[in-house]
Amino acid sequence: MATATMKMDYYEVLQVERTASDGELKVAYRKLAMQFHPDRNPNNPEAEERFKQCSEAYQVLSDADKRAAYDRYGHAGVSGAGPGGFNGGNPFQGQGDLGDIFGDLFGEMFNMGGNRRASRAQRGRDLKFDMRLEFEEAVFGVEREISIRRAEVCEDCSGTGSEGSKQPETCQQCGGRGQVRSQQGFFSVARTCPVCSGTGSVVRNPCKTCRGDARIQREHKILVKVPAGVEQDTRIRYSGEGDAGRFGGPGGDLYVVLEVKAHKFFERDGDDLHCVIPVSFPQASLGTELEIATLEGKETLKVPEGTQSGKEFKLKGKGVPHLNSHGKGDLIVEVRVQTPNKLNKQQKELLKQLAETMTVENIPSSRGIFGKVKNIFS
Q: Site mask, Zn ion, residues 306-345, x = CB under 5 A?
A: ----------------------------------------
| Residue 180 C-beta: closest distance to Zn ion, Å | 7
Please give the single-letter amino acid code of residue 191: R
What's the distance, CA 282 to chain centroid? 50
Q: Is 171 in the site for Zn ion (CB under 5 A)?
A: yes
Q: Is 157 in the site for Zn ion (CB under 5 A)?
A: yes
| Residue 38 C-beta: closest distance to Zn ion, Å | 17
Single residue of 25, 54, 109, 174 touching Zn ion by CB under 5 A: 174
Query: Quick one: 54 or 174, whose CB is closer to Zn ion?
Result: 174
Query: Quick one: 168 or 321, whose CB is closer to Zn ion?
Result: 168
CA–CA dist 95, 64 (Å, integer): 11
Please identify, among the stretches 83-91, 193-201, 252-260, 315-323, the one whose residues bind Zn ion according to the rule CB under 5 A. Answer: 193-201
Single residue of 98, 154, 258, 335 touching Zn ion by CB under 5 A: 154
Please identify, among the stretches 80-88, 150-158, 220-228, 370-378, the one whose residues bind Zn ion according to the rule CB under 5 A. Answer: 150-158
CA–CA dist 13, 7 (Å, integer): 10
Size of the site for Zn ion (CB under 5 A): 12
Site for Zn ion in 196-225 (CB under 5 A): 196, 207, 209-210
| Residue 149 C-beta: closest distance to Zn ion, Å | 18
Secondary structure of the chain as H, E, C letters = CCCCCCCCCHHHHHCCCCCCCHHHHHHHHHHHHHHHCCCCCCCCHHHHHHHHHHHHHHHHHCCHHHHHHHHHHHHHHHHHHCHHHHCCCCCCCCCHHHHHHHHHHHHHHHHHHCCCCCCCCECCCCEEEEEEECHHHHHHCEEEEEEEEEEEECCCCCCCCEHHHCCCEECCCCCCCCEEEEEECCEEEEEECCCCCCCCEECCCECCCCCCCCEEEEEEEEEEEECCCCCCCCEEEECCCCCCCECCCCCCCEEEEEEECCCCCCEEECCEEEEEEEEEHHHHHHCEEEEEEECCEEEEEEECCCCCCCEEEEECCCCCECCCCCCECCEEEEEEEECCCCCCHHHHHHHHHHHHHCCHHHCHHHHHHHHHHHHHHC
| Residue 97 C-beta: closest distance to Zn ion, Å | 36
Q: What does residue 302 show for φ and ψ, rounded to 5 degrees?
A: -85, 120
Please identify, among the stretches 91-99, 153-161, 258-266, 333-341, the one whose residues bind Zn ion according to the rule CB under 5 A. Answer: 153-161
Query: Quick one: 33 or 210, whose CB is closer to Zn ion?
Result: 210
Please identify, among the stretches 35-43, 134-142, 195-203, 239-247, the one whose residues bind Zn ion according to the rule CB under 5 A. Answer: 195-203
Cβ atoms of 273 and 267 closer than 8 Å: yes
Query: Quick one: 204 or 367, whose CB is closer to Zn ion?
Result: 204
| Residue 87 C-beta: closest distance to Zn ion, Å | 28
Please identify, among the stretches 35-43, 185-193, 267-275, 367-375, the one whose residues bind Zn ion according to the rule CB under 5 A. Answer: 185-193
Site for Zn ion in 6-65 (CB under 5 A): none
Please identify, among the stretches 61-69, 124-132, 168-176, 352-360, the one whose residues bind Zn ion according to the rule CB under 5 A. Answer: 168-176
CA–CA dist 153, 248 (Å, integer): 9
Cβ atoms of 187 and 181 closer than 8 Å: no
Please identify, among the stretches 4-12, 99-107, 155-163, 285-293, the one whose residues bind Zn ion according to the rule CB under 5 A. Answer: 155-163
Q: Is 244 in the site for Zn ion (CB under 5 A)?
A: no
Single residue of 14, 25, 193, 337 touching Zn ion by CB under 5 A: 193
Query: Quick one: 160 or 234, whose CB is closer to Zn ion?
Result: 160
Query: Quick one: 171 or 284, whose CB is closer to Zn ion?
Result: 171
Q: Which of 104, 4, 17 is nearest to 61 (CA)?
A: 17
Which residues of this chain interact with Zn ion, rule CB under 5 A?
154, 156-157, 171, 173-174, 193, 195-196, 207, 209-210
